[in-house]
């Protein structure tokens, strides 16, 4: 019945929390406690800037957040191979691509609020193909 399946789900499921009070992640120069004096626009701009930096670090360090727990992963797509038989859409590739896309959206958002905004050095805007 449904009560059983809910209990089973709870057992299998891992909490989304990571680290502990003594094991935190900090980005130098970017405080994670926000003053309540920021107005909503300032807070939003800071949040977007923080997220750009956060994703850049994931891409740089290769800590892409791939879960080790197989049960939590969604089904893999059909493999796509290159002409020499190497798989193109590996898990690592898919995670990286998703992060690149998220970062691109954030940078576009940031540039509309602040045209002076300098994107991270390793950022390349996606190529738009005309076909």
Partner 1 sequence: STLLDPGSPTEILCLLNMVLPEELLDNEEFEDIRSDIKQECAKYGDVRSIKIPRPVGQFPKRGCGKVFVQFESVEDSQKALKALSGRKFSGRIVMTSFYDPDKYLQDDLQ
| Three-class secondary structure of residue 27 per DSSP | strand
Which of 7, 8, 12, 18 lies at the binding interface for partner 1 (CB under 8 A)?
18
Tell me the closest approach of the beta carbon of residue 43 to partner 1, in angstroms. Answer: 8
- Residue pair 43/111 in contact (Cβ under 8 Å)? The answer is no
Tell me the HSE value of 104 on the side-chain side, using a 13 A CA sphere.
Answer: 11
Which region, judged by CB under 8 A, interacts with partner 1, from 50-58, 84-92, 111-119, 120-128?
50-58
- Residue pair 67/9 in contact (Cβ under 8 Å)? The answer is no
Which region, judged by CB under 8 A, interacts with partner 1, from 11-19, 73-81, 111-119, 120-128?
11-19
CA distance 85 to 79: 11
Interacting residues toward partner 1 by CB under 8 A: 9, 13, 15-21, 24-37, 40, 43, 47, 50-51, 54, 65
């Amino acid at each position: 019945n449904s009560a059983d399946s809910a209990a089973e789900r709870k057992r299998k499921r891992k909490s989304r929390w990571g680290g502990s009070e003594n094991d935190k992640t900090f980005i130098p120069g970017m405080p994670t406690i926000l003053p309540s004096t920021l107005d909503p626009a300032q807070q939003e701009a800071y949040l977007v800037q923080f997220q750009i930096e956060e994703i850049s670090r994931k891409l740089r360090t290769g800590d892409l957040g791939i879960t080790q727990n197989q049960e939590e992963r969604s089904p893999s797509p059909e493999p796509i191979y290159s002409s020499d038989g190497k798989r193109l859409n590996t898990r690592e590739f898919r995670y990286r691509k998703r992060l690149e896309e998220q970062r691109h959206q954030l940078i576009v958002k940031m540039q509309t609020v602040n045209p002076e905004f300098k994107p991270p050095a390793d950022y390349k805007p996606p190529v738009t193909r005309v076909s």
